[in-house]
C-alpha cells in the first residue's frame, strides 16, 4: 500500500473526466459573435467542458470529418456527404495597416488604393483572402501575396514593422497590437461568412444544445465584448 493512500487498482484513482465538447476555430475570439456564444454557453451549460483548437480551415474540416472535433467554425463552409454546415453570421473585411502607413489616415480603404501593396496572409486568419477579394472586388491582381507561416499575432506585428498589410474580419478588432490600425475595406461590409460544421452522425449529448444556442446567438443583434 502506498503511504497515505488506500489499497486498490490503479484505475480507481483516475480523475473523473467531465463531458468535453471539442471545438475548432479559424477566427479570432477577441470580440464578436463567437466570443459571445462561448461565454453564453459556458453560463448555460457549466457541466460541459469546451476544448478549443485554433486551426486553419482545411484542418478543421479534416478533423470534423475524422471525428477528432465535434464542431468547427470556419469561413465559407461547404457541405459534404457526411458534414452538416449551417451559416450563422457575416463579418466585414478590414485592412490591417501600420499606424505609419499613408492610408492609415483614411476612415475606410478604397481597394484601388492598395495597388502594389504586399499582402501578408496566414492560414490562421482569413482563409484564402485573395479568393474573397476576387469575388467581392475583382482587385486581387493589384496585390503581391506573401504567405507567412505564422500565427495572427506574428503577422499583425509584421504589419506594424512595415512588412506589408493584412486582412482580417471584424472578430479580430478587439485585440490591441502596438503600431497597427484597422480600417474597413469599402464594399466588403459582409464579405466574410462564418458557419458551424459538424458530422451528421455525431451523437455527442451536448451537441444539439450547443447548436441551438449558436443559432439563437446568431439571430441576435451584435453582442459587445
Q: Is there a single domain that holds both residue 159 and residue 210?
A: no
Q: Would 129 be classed as within a structural domain?
A: yes
Q: Is there a single domain that holds both residue 131 and residue 199?
A: no
Looking at residue 126, its pLDDT comes to 56
Which residues lie below 8 Å from residue 163, measured CB to CB, with a gap of 6+?
A: 118, 120, 146
> Given pLDDT bands bounded at 50, 70 and 90, which one contains residue 220?
confident
Q: Is there a single domain that holds both residue 100 and residue 141?
A: yes
Structure confidence by residue, pLDDT tens digits, 23-43: 999 888 999 999 999 999 999
Mean pLDDT of the region 176-193: 89
pTM over 0.95: no
- Show the domain range for 167: 93-184
Q: Is there a single domain that holds both residue 126 and residue 75?
A: no
Mean pLDDT of the region 108-137: 71
Q: Is there a single domain that holds both residue 209 and residue 157?
A: no
Handedness of CA 34, 175, 171, 63 (dihedral sign): negative
Q: Is there a single domain that holds both residue 128 and residue 69?
A: no
- The pLDDT of residue 135 is above 80: no
Q: Is there a single domain that holds both residue 30 and residue 99?
A: no
Number of domains in the chain: 2
Q: Would 119 be classed as within a structural domain?
A: yes
Q: Is there a single domain that holds both residue 83 and residue 33?
A: yes
Q: Is 65 left (phi over 0), alpha (psi -120 to 50) or beta?
A: alpha
Q: Return the CATH number at 30.
A: 3.40.190.10
Q: Is there a single domain that holds both residue 85 and residue 98?
A: no
Of 71, 207, 59, give the one whose Cα is nearest residue 124: 59
Q: Would 131 be classed as within a structural domain?
A: yes
Q: Would 113 be classed as within a structural domain?
A: yes
C-alpha cell at 198: 459538424
Q: Would 204 be classed as within a structural domain?
A: yes
Amino acid at each position: 500500500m502506498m503511504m497515505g493512500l488506500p489499497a486498490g487498482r490503479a484505475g480507481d484513482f483516475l480523475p473523473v473526466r467531465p463531458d468535453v465538447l471539442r471545438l475548432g476555430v479559424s477566427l479570432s475570439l477577441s470580440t464578436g459573435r463567437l466570443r459571445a456564444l462561448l461565454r453564453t454557453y459556458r453560463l448555460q451549460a457549466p457541466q460541459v467542458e469546451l476544448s478549443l483548437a485554433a486551426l486553419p480551415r482545411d484542418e478543421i474540416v479534416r478533423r470534423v470529418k475524422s471525428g477528432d472535433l465535434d464542431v468547427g467554425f470556419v469561413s465559407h463552409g461547404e457541405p459534404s456527404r457526411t458534414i452538416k454546415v449551417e451559416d450563422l453570421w457575416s463579418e466585414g473585411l478590414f485592412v490591417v495597416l501600420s499606424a505609419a502607413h499613408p492610408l492609415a489616415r483614411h476612415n475606410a480603404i478604397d481597394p484601388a488604393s492598395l495597388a502594389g501593396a504586399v499582402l501578408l496572409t496566414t492560414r490562421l486568419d482569413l482563409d484564402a483572402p485573395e479568393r474573397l477579394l476576387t469575388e467581392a472586388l475583382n482587385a486581387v491582381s493589384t496585390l503581391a501575396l506573401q504567405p507567412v507561416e505564422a500565427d495572427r499575432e506574428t503577422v499583425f506585428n509584421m504589419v506594424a514593422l512595415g512588412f506589408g498589410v493584412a486582412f482580417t474580419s471584424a472578430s479580430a478588432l478587439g485585440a490591441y497590437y502596438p503600431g497597427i490600425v484597422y480600417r474597413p475595406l469599402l464594399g466588403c461590409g459582409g464579405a466574410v461568412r462564418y458557419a458551424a460544421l459538424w458530422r451528421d452522425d455525431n451523437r455527442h449529448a451536448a451537441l444539439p444544445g450547443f447548436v441551438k444556442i449558436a443559432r439563437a446567438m446568431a439571430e441576435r443583434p451584435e453582442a459587445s465584448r
